[in-house]
Structure 1
Amino acid sequence: MTRLFQFDASDVKIKKRETVFQGFFRMDKLWLTHPRFDGREMPVFTRELFVRGDATCVLPYDPVRDEVVLLEQFRLGALGRDQSPWLLELVAGMNEEGESPEQVARREGQEEAGLTFRQLERICEYLVSPGGSTEMVHLYCGLVSSEHAGGLFGVEHEHEDIRAHVLAASEAMAMVHDGRINNAAAIIALQWLELNRPRLRREAGQ
C-alpha cells in the first residue's frame, strides 16, 4: 500500500510571488515547483491564489423547539445561475486579527441575527476551495432559544441587509435535500445536525 501524505509544505519551492490585485480581496501570482509522486520534479508552473482570511460560520439551533435560524441575504457569486442570488445561509463572519473563532461566532450571532449562543459545538474546519483560495472555515452549531428570533439585521455601513428566518429543523434539512439550500457551510452544518439532533434534543431534556 502506498503511503498517504508523503509530502508536506516544506517540499513546495516558491520561486517568485507577486500581488497582481489588491482591493476588497487580494490576488497573488506564484511561480512554484514540487516533487511528483513518480519521483521526478514538477517543472516550474504558475498559479493565481485568492488570498482571503479565515471565516467562522454558525448554525443556530434550538433543541427544545427543534428549530434553526437561517439568514437570507444577497450573494454576488450566485448571480448568473438558474436561481435567486438571495441565499439561505448560516451566521457568518471573517475572523479579525486577534479574534478566536468562538469570539467571531458570538459577535456575528449578535450582529446578524440578534442571537446569544449559550453553547457552541465545534463541527469541523474545512478549506473552502483549496485549488485557488487560502480560506479556511471554522464551523459550529450554536445552541440558542429561537422563541423570539427572526427579523431584519446587518451592519449598514458594511452593506449588509439580512433577514433572519426561523425554520423547523426538518424543513431546513428538506431544503438541503431538494437543492434550495446549496452553499457548502449550510449543507455541512445541517447534515451534521441531522446526525447529532437526537443527542442535542436528549441533552436538552426533549
Structure 2
Amino acid sequence: MTSPFQFNASDVHVERRETVFQGFFRLDKLWLTHARFDGREMPVFTRELFIRGDATCVLPYDPVRDEVVLLEQFRLGALGREQSPWLLELVAGMNEAGEPPEDVAQREGQEEAGLSFHKLDRICDYLVSPGGTTEMVHLYCGLVSTESAGGLFGVEHEHEDIRAHVFSADEAIGMIRDGRINNAAAIIALQWLELNRPKLRHEAGQ
C-alpha cells in the first residue's frame, strides 16, 4: 500500500498567475498543472485563489470558574442563511507580517474582550479551506479570569461592534450540539476544551 504525502510543492507547476481583484481582500487566478497518482501529469487547468493572511483565534477559559468568553458580532458570510448573521465566535485577529501568533492573541484579547491571557495553550494550526484560500488559523486556549469579563468592545475605525458574553463551559459546548455555534474555530476549540477541561481544572487546583 502506498504511503501518503509522496508529492510536495515541487510537483506543482504554475504556468501563469494574475491578480484579478484587489480590495479589502485579494483574488488571484492561476493556470497550473501537477503530478497525478497514476504517474501522469494533470493537464493545465485554472483555479481562483483567495489570498488571505494567517489568523490567530483564542478561546478564553477560566479553569477556576469553568467559564468561557465568546464574542458576538455580525458576519457577512452568514447572511442569507436560515440563521442570524450575528455569530458566537472566539477572540480572533489577522497576523501582521512576522508577528508571532501569541502576540496577536494578546493584542486581540485586549481589543475584542478586554482580556489578558496569563497562559496560552496551543490547540492546533489548520488550513481554513485549502481548496480556495491560503488562510491558516493558529488556534489557542487562553487562560483568564472571567470574574469581570463581558461587555462591549471593538475598534470603531475597523467597523468592529462586539459583545463579549460569559458562558459556563457546559453551556458553550452544548451550543455546538444544538447548532447555535457553527463556525470552525469555535467548534474545534470547544471540543478540545471538552477533552482537556479535567487537566486544566486540576492544574488550577480545582
* TM-score when normalising by structure 2: 1.00
Question: SS in structure 2 opposite 1:125?
Answer: strand
- 1:58 counterpart letter in structure 2: V
Which letter does structure 1 place at the counterpart of 2:78?
Answer: A
Partner-residue secondary structure (3-state), 1:148 = coil
Give the whole-Å Cα distance in 2 for the aligned partners of 1:97 and 1:17: 22
- Trace 1:104-123 onto structure 2 (pairs within 5 A): 104-123=104-123
Shift in Å, 1:98: 2.4
Shift of 1:115: 0.2
Q: How many residues align?
A: 206
Q: After superposition, what is the alpha-carbon deviation per residue over 1:131-181, rounded to whole angstroms, capped at 9, x for unaligned?
A: 000000000000000000000000000000000000000000000011000
> What's the counterpart of residue 62 of structure 1?
62
1:33-54 Cα distance to aligned partner (Å, 9 max, x none): 0011001110000000000000
Secondary structure (helix, strand or coil) at the match of 1:193 reads helix
CA apart distance, 1:3: 1.8
- Within a 5 Å distance, the mapping from 1:21-36 to structure 2 comes to 21-36=21-36
Distance 1:98 1:136 in 2: 14
| Correspondence for 2:175 | 175
Instruction: Give the corresponding residue for 1:151.
Output: 151
Q: Matched residues in 1 for 2:104 and 2:94: separation?
A: 8
Aligned residue number for residue 203 of structure 1: 203
How many Å separate the matches in 1 of 2:177 and 2:144? 24
- Is 2:51 the counterpart of 1:51? yes
Give the distance between the partners of 2:10 and 2:151, measured in 1 at CA. Answer: 49
How large is the Cα RMSD of the aligned pairs?
0.4
Can you list the C-alpha shifts for 1:8-45, whole angstroms capped at 9, x where unaligned? 00110000000000000000000000011001110000
Give 3-state SS (helix, strand or coil) of 2:77's partner.
helix
- The amino acid that maps onto 2:89 is E
The reply to whether residue 161 of structure 1 matches residue 161 of structure 2 is yes
Paired amino acid for 1:95: N
Counterpart amino acid of 1:184? A
How far apart in 2 are the matches of 1:32 and 1:79?
Answer: 33
The answer to whether the aligner puts 1:192 opposite 2:196 as a matched pair is: no
| Partner Cα distance (2:83, 2:38) in 1 | 44
Take 2:144 and 2:7, find their aligned partners in 1: how far apart are those partners? 43
Percent identity between the two aligned chains = 84
Partner Cα separation in structure 1 for residue 187 and residue 126 of structure 2: 13
Mapped to 1, the partners of 2:126 and 2:73 lie a distance apart of: 23
Q: Which consecutive residues of structure 2, in runs of 5 or more, have no partner in the other structure? A: none
- Whole-Å separation in 2 of the counterparts to 1:25 and 1:166: 32
Q: In 2, Cα distance between the equivalents of 1:15 and 1:66?
A: 53
Match of 2:10 in 1: 10
Tell me which residue corresponds to 2:92.
92
The runs of at least 4 consecutive aligned structure 1 residues that moved more than 2 Å come to: none
- Tell me the amino acid that sits aligned with residue 125 of structure 1: D
Give a deviation string over 1:67-106, Cα, whole Å, max 9, x none. 0000000000000100000000000000011210000000
SS at match of 2:167: strand
- For structure 1, the residue ranges without an aligned partner over 5 or more in a row are none
Looking at structure 1, the residues matched to 147 and 65 of structure 2 have their Cα atoms a distance apart, in angstroms, of 8
Q: Which amino acid aligns with 1:60?
A: P
